[in-house]
Amino acid sequence: MNIKITPNNLTKLEKIFEEAKYVLRFEKGSFLSGYCILEHKKVVVINKFLNLEGRINTLIDILSTLPLDEEMLTAESHKLYKQIQSSKPIPEAGDEENGAPGEQAAE
Protein backbone atom coordinates (compact mmCIF):
# COMPACT_ATOMS: atom_id res chain seq x y z
CA MET A 1 0.00 0.00 0.00
CA ASN A 2 1.27 3.46 -0.81
CA ILE A 3 0.97 5.70 2.22
CA LYS A 4 3.05 8.79 2.83
CA ILE A 5 5.62 8.42 5.57
CA THR A 6 4.50 11.13 7.98
CA PRO A 7 4.00 11.24 11.76
CA ASN A 8 0.33 12.04 11.13
CA ASN A 9 -0.17 8.80 9.17
CA LEU A 10 1.58 6.85 11.93
CA THR A 11 -0.90 8.35 14.39
CA LYS A 12 -3.81 7.30 12.15
CA LEU A 13 -2.53 3.72 12.04
CA GLU A 14 -2.03 3.65 15.80
CA LYS A 15 -5.59 4.94 16.23
CA ILE A 16 -6.97 1.93 14.32
CA PHE A 17 -5.34 -0.41 16.85
CA GLU A 18 -6.64 1.67 19.75
CA GLU A 19 -10.20 1.64 18.42
CA ALA A 20 -10.00 -2.13 17.88
CA LYS A 21 -8.99 -2.50 21.56
CA TYR A 22 -5.41 -3.59 20.79
CA VAL A 23 -2.60 -2.33 22.97
CA LEU A 24 0.38 -1.08 20.96
CA ARG A 25 3.69 -1.20 22.78
CA PHE A 26 7.05 -0.05 21.48
CA GLU A 27 9.68 -2.16 23.23
CA LYS A 28 13.19 -3.37 22.57
CA GLY A 29 13.64 -7.02 21.75
CA SER A 30 14.97 -9.43 19.20
CA PHE A 31 12.04 -9.55 16.80
CA LEU A 32 12.82 -11.25 13.51
CA SER A 33 10.00 -9.42 11.76
CA GLY A 34 10.09 -6.20 13.79
CA TYR A 35 7.01 -7.08 15.82
CA CYS A 36 5.25 -9.66 17.97
CA ILE A 37 1.49 -10.19 18.29
CA LEU A 38 -0.13 -11.64 21.40
CA GLU A 39 -3.57 -12.20 19.89
CA HIS A 40 -5.36 -13.56 22.95
CA LYS A 41 -4.33 -10.53 24.97
CA LYS A 42 -4.75 -8.12 22.04
CA VAL A 43 -1.23 -6.78 22.46
CA VAL A 44 1.08 -5.83 19.60
CA VAL A 45 4.72 -5.21 20.45
CA ILE A 46 6.73 -3.22 17.91
CA ASN A 47 10.51 -2.92 17.89
CA LYS A 48 11.14 0.53 19.37
CA PHE A 49 14.28 0.99 17.30
CA LEU A 50 12.36 1.08 14.00
CA ASN A 51 12.36 4.45 12.27
CA LEU A 52 9.16 6.19 11.15
CA GLU A 53 9.02 4.33 7.82
CA GLY A 54 9.68 1.00 9.53
CA ARG A 55 6.91 1.61 12.07
CA ILE A 56 4.38 2.56 9.40
CA ASN A 57 5.25 -0.41 7.17
CA THR A 58 5.14 -2.79 10.14
CA LEU A 59 1.72 -1.53 11.27
CA ILE A 60 0.40 -1.89 7.71
CA ASP A 61 1.75 -5.46 7.57
CA ILE A 62 0.04 -6.31 10.83
CA LEU A 63 -3.26 -4.70 9.85
CA SER A 64 -3.31 -6.65 6.58
CA THR A 65 -3.21 -9.93 8.55
CA LEU A 66 -5.28 -9.17 11.66
CA PRO A 67 -9.05 -9.63 11.55
CA LEU A 68 -10.51 -6.59 13.31
CA ASP A 69 -14.08 -5.81 14.33
CA GLU A 70 -14.74 -3.09 11.76
CA GLU A 71 -17.83 -1.85 13.62
CA MET A 72 -15.57 -0.52 16.37
CA LEU A 73 -13.71 1.79 13.98
CA THR A 74 -14.58 5.40 13.26
CA ALA A 75 -15.40 6.32 9.65
CA GLU A 76 -11.89 7.69 8.99
CA SER A 77 -10.18 4.64 10.51
CA HIS A 78 -12.53 2.25 8.71
CA LYS A 79 -11.69 3.86 5.35
CA LEU A 80 -7.94 3.51 5.96
CA TYR A 81 -8.37 -0.07 7.22
CA LYS A 82 -10.31 -1.00 4.07
CA GLN A 83 -7.58 0.51 1.88
CA ILE A 84 -5.01 -1.61 3.68
CA GLN A 85 -7.15 -4.75 3.39
CA SER A 86 -7.78 -4.22 -0.32
CA SER A 87 -4.06 -3.85 -1.03
CA LYS A 88 -2.93 -7.12 0.56
CA PRO A 89 -1.70 -9.75 -1.89
CA ILE A 90 -4.10 -12.46 -3.03
CA PRO A 91 -2.75 -16.02 -2.58
CA GLU A 92 -1.92 -17.68 -5.89
CA ALA A 93 -2.97 -21.18 -6.89
CA GLY A 94 -0.46 -23.68 -5.58
CA ASP A 95 0.18 -21.83 -2.33
CA GLU A 96 0.18 -23.77 0.93
CA GLU A 97 -3.50 -23.00 1.54
CA ASN A 98 -4.42 -24.80 -1.67
CA GLY A 99 -2.16 -27.80 -1.10
CA ALA A 100 1.48 -28.41 -1.80
CA PRO A 101 2.94 -26.87 -4.96
CA GLY A 102 2.81 -29.22 -7.89
CA GLU A 103 -0.27 -31.08 -6.67
CA GLN A 104 -2.60 -29.07 -8.86
CA ALA A 105 -4.18 -31.06 -11.69
CA ALA A 106 -2.77 -30.24 -15.11
CA GLU A 107 -5.27 -29.00 -17.63
Residue 15 DSSP one-character state: H
- pLDDT at residue 1, as a whole number: 62
Q: Which residues does residue 36 pair with via DSSP β-bridges, in sequence order?
A: 45
Amino acid at 2: N
Residue pLDDT tens, the chain, 107 long: 678 999 999 999 999 999 999 999 998 877 777 778 777 888 899 999 899 999 999 999 999 888 888 999 999 999 999 999 888 665 555 544 444 444 444 43
> Is pTM beyond 0.85 here?
no
CA 19 – CA 68 distance, rounded (Å) = 10
